[in-house]
Chains A and B, each alone.
Chain A
C-alpha cells in the first residue's frame, strides 16, 4: 500500500530548543501507528507541522504523495487528514447530528436539511460500526459516546488519516476496550491511524508500529511483537523505569479523617456527591477509583475547603470541622495536591521558589512579620529542587518554564514539605511524563510510610491499583464499594466504576 503520510527528515529549531531533529516517519493506509513520547519530546511540533501550522526548517511532509504547503491548513484537511482532540470540540447544547454537520451543513435553499443530515449520519455510523443517536443532545451523553461523535465528525470528511490525541484519557476501562476495537475496525477499512498516548498497554493492544520520540529525536520504531511495556517505557524515558511500584505492607494506624454523609453540589448546582461515608487511617493510601464526573472532584474540593458542603461531617483527628475555606482546611491539617495544577496549584508567572511556598508565604521562616524573607525562600527552594528532582537551571525561573511533570513536582514538593497528617492527591500524575510519575508515586508512598493518611483520587485505574492499600469505587456520586487492594480484580472494579454491579 502507498504511504498516506510521509515525513522525511523534518527538523524544527525553536530558539534554544531543537524540537524536531531529522524525523522521518511514514503512515500507510490501514495501519495503526502509535506515537509515543514524554511531554516535550516533540510530538506536538511534529503534528503541527503535519497540519501546516509550523514550518519545518528542513525536510518534507507529503500527504498522499503530494508535498504540503505551509499555512494551507484547510487544504491539508481537505486532503483527508482528521484529528480527534483530547478536549472535545463539541457544542454541548446541540444534538449529535448538528455537531457532526457543523461547518458543512447539507442545505435546502437557505435552510439546513436536517433530514438529509440524519440519513447521512445513520449511514456513516452503520458503515463504521459506530452507533450513535443523531437526536441526542451532546451534554446528556457519556464521555465515550461524545468521543464517538468526534470520530464520526472526522470520518464524515472522508478521512484517510486520522490522528487521535490521548483518546483514552477520560474513558472507563470498558469504553477504552470499545474504542480500541473501533480503532482496529477503522484500520481494517483502510484508514491510517496515528495514536498519541501515554498508556503503554493500549499501545501494546492496538498498534502495528510504535514510534518513540525523545528530546526531539526519533529514538526508534518497534512493534508490540518485538517489545513489551517495560521496553517501551525505557525507550521513552531513556533509562529503565519501574512500572510496578514496590509497595510494602501498610502500617495502618488510627482514623485520621472521617467523612460522614457528605453531600455536595457541582457548579450547575446539581447534587453530585450524594452521601459519602468513609474513614481514612494513618499510614495508608485509600484510592478513589471512578470514571471522571462521578462526583470525585466535588467530593475532594468539599473536603479541602474549596467547595461548600451541602450536608455531612468532616472530622479530622477527632475534631469536626466547619464548612471550611482552603486556608482553614490547611490549618486543620490537610495538604492537597489539586486536580488542576495550572488553575489552583501554581502561579505560573511566579518563580519556582515562590510557588514552593505559595500557601506558607506568611509563615515563619518565609516571612518575619510583614516582611518576606527572600533568603529563606530561596534556600528552601534550593533544597526542594534537589530533593524532588525538579529539572530547572534555577529556582528563580518561572513555573511556566517547567514541563508538566516538573510543575507537578513543585506542587507535590510544597504539599509534602509540611508533613501534615492528611494528604489528598487528586489526579497527581495527569499529563505527567513516565519518569516523573514514578518519582511522584514513590513520594506518595514515602509520605504514607512516614505516617500520613493519603487519599488518592485518580482516573487511572492502574495508578489506583498499584498504589492503594484500599480502594473505594465511586459511581453516581456515591462510594459503591470499598475493597482491599490485595487481589482486587481489575474487571470487577471496572464494572463497579461503570455502575454495572451493585
Chain B
C-alpha cells in the first residue's frame, strides 16, 4: 500500500508541469505567434527579438532602463498577487496606482523644507495610504456588503481616473502650463540611484521578499492563504473572513499605490495622467506569469519591463511597431491562463456522468 502511495507521489512530481514550465511555454509560444505575424508583414522576427533583448539586457544602461520600467510593475504584480492569495481578483490596481502616483507627486512638490529621507518616506507613505483607501473601499463592499470585487474595482478605476484627471488639471496643475500635469517634485524627494540602477527597484524587490516571508511564515499569511483557498474552512477554523478580505484589499491597494509613488519619485518626477497607463493591468499578467508567488513576480516584471524598455529600439532596428509588445503581453496573458482554463473544463466536463463515483 505504502509503495503504491509512493508511486502516486512520484508520478505527481513527474507530471505536475504546472509550476514553472507553464510561464516559460507561454512566453515562448507568444513569441512564436508574434514571429508569424511579423513574417506576414515581411519583417525579420529574429532581428526584432535580438534588438528587443539586446536593448533591454545588453548594456548596463539598458538594464538600468529595464529595471526602471520593472519597478512599478513589481509592485503592481505584488498587489494583484496579494489579492489572489486571499481569493480576490483586484482589477483595480490601475486606479489604486494612479491615486498613489498623484498623492506622492503632491507630497513631492507641495511639502517643502524636509530632509530628503523624511520627505521620501512621507511621499511613499502618501502613495501607499491613498492607494490603500481606494482598495479598502472595494474591500469593505466585498466583505461587508457582498459586492463582487471585480465589479467594484472596475468601477473604481473609472471613478479614480476621473478624479485624478480633474485634480491634475485644476487644483494640482502646474501653473502657466498647457499640459495637464502637476509641477515637478523637489530634488529632496527624488529616489536616489545606486550607481546606474534605480533604488526603487531594490525597494520593490525587498517588498516582494517581505511578502513571501509574511505569506509563508506568519499567522497573518496563513489567514490570507486559508481564506483564499477555502473560506468556509477558514471560517470554521476561527479566521474572520470579512476582516481578512478587507485587509487584503486594503494592502493590495496600498502596494499598488506604492507602485505609483515609486514611479513618480523615481522615474517621471511629476504626475501626468498619461504616464502610468497600463501599469496596473500589466500587473495582472505579471502576477499570473509569476505563478502568484511574490518572488516569482520579480523575473516576470523584469521580462516585461525589458520588453517595454526595448520596444522603441526594436522599431528603429527592425521596423517593427512598438505596439507589438502590447500584442506579446496580451498573448502571454492568454497562454499563461490557457492551462488554467483547460484544467477548469477538464475537471468539469465528466462530472454529469460520473459525479459521485467515489472520487
Contacts and interface: CB of A to CB of B under 8 A. Distances in A.
Contacts of A393: 2, 5-6, 9
Interface stretch (B37-45, B74-82, B98-106, B346-354): B346-354
A17 B8 contact: yes
Contacts of A354: 222
Given A371-B217, A372-B222, A39 B4 contact: no
Interface stretch (A58-66, A339-347, A464-472): A339-347
A44 B353 CA distance: 11
A358 B229 contact: no
Contacts of A255: none
B333 to A, nearest CB: 23
A218 interface: no
Contacts of B236: 306, 326, 336, 338, 344-345, 359
B218 A348 contact: no
Given A343-B232, A401-B8, A48 B357 contact: yes
Contacts of A330: 238
A51 B15 contact: no
A43 B219 contact: no
A86 B238 contact: no
Interface string A248-272: 0000000000000000000000000
A379 interface: no
A111 interface: no
A348 B230 contact: yes
Nearest to B220: A370
A367 B219 contact: yes
B235 interface: yes
Interface string A69-113: 000010000000001011101000000000000000000000000
A401 B6 CA distance: 11
Contacts of B2: 391, 393
B55 to A, nearest CB: 41
A197 B219 CA distance: 43
A338 B8 CA distance: 28
Contact of A165 (B11, B15, B219, B357): B357
B5 A347 contact: no
A401 B16 CA distance: 13
A325 B4 CA distance: 41
A345 B12 contact: no
A482 B19 CA distance: 55
Nearest to A37: B358
A392 interface: yes
Given A85-B355, A326-B238, A344-B232, A391 B1 contact: yes
Contacts of A306: 235-236
Interface string A385-408: 000000111100100010010000
B10 A85 contact: no
B233 interface: yes
B357 A43 contact: yes
Interface of A (DSSP majority class): loop
Interface in A202-259: 215
A372 B217 contact: yes
B17 interface: no
A321 interface: no
A375 B27 CA distance: 38
Nearest to A45: B357
Interface residues of A, number: 54
A206 to B, nearest CB: 20
Q: What is the interface residue range for chain B against chain A?
A: 35 or more
A89 B352 CA distance: 8
A346 B238 contact: no
Contacts of A16: 4, 7-12
A215 B239 CA distance: 39
B115 interface: no
B217 A374 contact: yes
B345 to A, nearest CB: 15
A346 B230 contact: yes
B152 to A, nearest CB: 26
Contacts of A370: 218-220
A475 to B, nearest CB: 26
A53 interface: yes
B218 A371 contact: yes
A344 B229 CA distance: 12
B235 A87 contact: no
Interface string A268-303: 000000000000000000000000000000000000
A198 B236 CA distance: 29
B13 to A, nearest CB: 10
A47 interface: yes
Contacts of B229: 347-350
A346 B354 contact: no
A215 B4 contact: yes
A350 B221 CA distance: 13
B226 interface: yes
A17 B14 contact: no
Given A85-B356, A397-B9, A53 B238 contact: no
B237 interface: yes
Contacts of A47: 354, 357
29 contacts: A14-B11, A15-B12, A15-B15, A16-B4, A16-B7, A16-B8, A16-B11, A16-B12, A17-B7, A17-B8, A43-B357, A48-B353, A73-B353, A86-B355, A306-B236, A325-B238, A330-B238, A346-B233, A347-B230, A347-B234, A354-B222, A359-B236, A361-B219, A367-B219, A370-B218, A370-B220, A372-B218, A372-B222, A401-B9
Interface of B: 1-2, 4-12, 14-15, 217-222, 225-226, 229-230, 232-239, 350, 352-359
Given A165-B357, A306-B236, 18 more contacts: A16-B9, A17-B11, A44-B357, A48-B350, A53-B353, A166-B356, A325-B238, A345-B233, A347-B229, A347-B233, A348-B229, A348-B230, A359-B238, A362-B219, A393-B5, A397-B9, A401-B9, A404-B358
List of 9 A-B pairs having minimum Cβ-Cβ separation, nearest first: A327-B238, A16-B11, A44-B357, A15-B11, A86-B356, A16-B7, A359-B237, A344-B236, A16-B8
